[in-house]
Chains A and B, each alone.
Chain A
């Protein structure tokens, strides 16, 4: 039996509901309809009263979650698209993220964001805002790249006593499959070496991990062995694993689907340069989307973001340094 990335997310929510009576799911269309992407399909049926439809009020949705968390429950909020979380921005960064620091009362909410681009998504159904949330203190930001991680990291997110921004890549929902659910996993906060290499470290997260792996396969034919690091969580960011990888290869390329200014790739490079300056045999580079809103037309969209070709080309430049 094979399951998709989306199936894994649904299974994780089902298991969370089953194993912890404090868990409930709240969001638009999550109830009988099963969610815009069917991430909560059948759950309202299986767990009556615990999968509740919300009005189109992202601010109040997150505010309600914070109140429920104060009361001891563990809400999972589904935002229909990451792009709409901006309406809830105030409640996420000023209410949820400050509660523990101000009052010593933890805020165990999980906000699921279907994020990332798909062909034809356009400016408001494709965003990747993980860096904005990582920037604010008080939040944990997760970006699973595999079916297994989508499952285990969502379970762990619900168990974490702090607000977790769970970024699920909507392109991976149906395109990524695995044989079965994992029985054990790396903990949140540890990055994974997705591919061992020798000549260059490519740091990526979420869907870009797969593009990086494809580019690595292409470069392998040319005789280069690329090491690919899957960050898994953007905050906390596993600097040690990244630096250890650069210690092996001497070269770094950070790849992200998000925009360049102050993105995760900038953070990775800042850390490696300041902690591992003496490990670098070439200037560290990064590859991001172009500094414009995400375009709608597939021709433009394909050129807007890093692709396998672009990753390979950027890699070649560094490899030849």
Chain B
């Protein structure tokens, strides 16, 4: 009579394997279809393996406390032929053939040396990455709609190993119709793509509080008034001209150094951010950059930046303090290693040793987000320190 395999079932989304913790029946026991046979433990819960059919437990090949992947054979049930064929199961003939074979059951118990495939049927990508498996059809549809795997992160899959089936996908897409949808501008889509690509790198941030009082005083003496970000920009440019390696790009095993210290600065435009660039920012003192800086800001706001005014910068500065924010971890442009952020200034007590008391100062945080493949915390910290030093001596910028 045919032996039906007891197979480790699909236990849940992205569950790849489970550990045997208890056998609920033993070889020789008669069982019903769907009866619980084995208790298993996954990293989420304790579950049971049910019998595929009615019959007698022939043997268990699985061992207590051992882990087996989804699809592995855990044992065999001696089922009637009707049962087995009714279910269309994969059967192996038992050694007993209508009484002509003299083999006893205990002999077939010892038949464990034969290599059994652990995954039957279709190659299900049954590992933790199962949920991200995209079938060719899914990929084609995603291409058609301009979607990326990241766009589907929140969608649960009902397919094998938790994969997203094409039906899950189409249901999701049509369910979006029920919500208020507004068109994403091409700017938005472009920024989304840039941020997604930037995020593929390991990014980290270091921060440093600086005293802004000197800058504030210096600013009052200038006409026209330089934006606060320009001070940070000049400081960054000088620091990079002293050592350009932190702004380098890692290509394979080489660091590609910047050839010119062109620094960009973020300007909020409708529905996005533009990054105009001051070319050779290390070569001109602050006063000589102000007019051009203000020009670029205005052009950016009106979205009239000429093509040569953007692109090709080696680092970016962003003034998140304009929103009153004191802390932010900006994301560098995908083609850059660094982004320097400046937060809002606010009155903070600083300890004055000489006076032996707290004195009020205007403090702001500088944050430097960086591609951790190129810089470690130490190099980033040193760069930020130097920038802080330079900013706090604005007359030298």
State whether B122 touches A278 (Cβ < 8 A).
Answer: no
The interface centre, meaning the residue of A282, A283, A313, A316 with most chain B CB atoms within 10 A of its CB, is: A282
Q: Render B122-146 as a binary contact track against A, CB cut-off 8 A, 1 for contact.
A: 1110000000000111111000000
The residue in B86, B89, B136, B166 that gathers the most chain A C-beta atoms within 10 A of its C-beta is B136
In the complex, are the beta carbons of B159 and A321 less than 8 A apart? yes
Please tell me if the beta carbons of A313 and B89 are within 8 angstroms of each other in the complex: yes
Q: Is B121 part of the contact surface with A, judged by Cβ < 8 Å?
A: yes
CB of A277 within 8 A of CB of B159, answer no
Interface flag for B160 (CB, 8 Å): yes
- C-alpha spacing A279/B144, complex, angstroms: 12
CA distance A281 to B90 in the complex (A): 24
Q: Please state if B88 and A318 are interface contacts (CB–CB under 8 Å).
A: no
Pick the residue among B85, B90, B140, B165 that contacts A279 (CB under 8 A).
Answer: B140
A180: chain B residues within 8 A (beta carbon): none
Q: In residues 75-102 of chain B, which contact A (Cβ within 8 Å)? A: 85-90
What chain B residues lie within 8 Å of A231 (beta carbons)? none
**Chain B 147-161 per-residue mask, 1 if CB under 8 angstroms from chain A, else 0:** 000000000000110
Given known A279-B137, A280-B137, A321-B160, contact A313–B123 (CB-CB < 8 A): no
Residues of A within 8 A of B137 (CB): 250, 278-281
| 290-318 of chain A: CB within 8 A of chain B | 309-310, 312-313, 316-318
Query: What's the nearest-Cβ distance from chain B to residue A315, in Å?
Result: 9
Within 8 A of B (CB), among A221-255: 250
Cβ contact of A320, chosen from B88, B123, B160, cutoff 8 A: B160
Inter-subunit contact A279/B136 (CB<8 Å): yes
Could you say which of B87, B122, B163 contacts A318, with CB atoms under 8 Å apart?
Answer: B122
| Of listed B88, B123, B163, residue having the most chain A CB within 10 A | B88
Q: A259-293 interface mask toward B, CB cutoff 8 Å, 1 = contact, 0 = none?
A: 00000000000000000011111110100000000
Q: How long is the Cα–Cα vector from A282 to B135 in the complex, in angstroms?
A: 7
Interface residues on B, range: 20 to 34
A282 to B165 alpha-carbon distance, docked (Å): 9
Chain A proximity mask over B333-346: 1 for CB below 8 Å, otherwise 0: 00000000000000
Given A277-B136, A312-B88, A313-B88, does the pair A283, B165 have CB atoms closer than 8 Å? no
Docked CA distance A250–B139 (Å): 12
* Least Cβ–Cβ distance between A198 and chain B, in angstroms: 10
Q: Is the CB of B166 within 8 A of A317?
A: no
Residues of A within 8 A of B165 (CB): 281, 321
Write the chain A residue with the least CB distance to B123. A283
For residue A316, which residues in chain B have a CB less than 8 angstroms away from its CB?
88
Q: How far is the CA of A277 from the CA of B136 in the complex (A)?
A: 6
> What CA separation (Å) do A316 and B122 show in the bound complex?
11
- Complex formed: what's the CA distance from A317 to B139 in Å? 22
Residues of B within 8 A of A279 (CB): 136-137, 140
Q: Which chain B residues border A310 with CB–CB below 8 Å?
A: 88
Q: Shortest CB–CB separation between residue B85 and chain A, in angstroms?
A: 5
Binding site for B on A (CB under 8 A): 250, 277-283, 285, 309-310, 312-313, 316-318, 320-321
Residues of B within 8 A of A (CB): 85-90, 121-124, 135-140, 159-160, 163, 165-166
Q: Would you give 10 A-B contacts (Cβ < 8 Å), ordered by A?
A: A250-B135, A250-B137, A279-B136, A281-B166, A283-B122, A283-B123, A316-B88, A321-B124, A321-B159, A321-B160
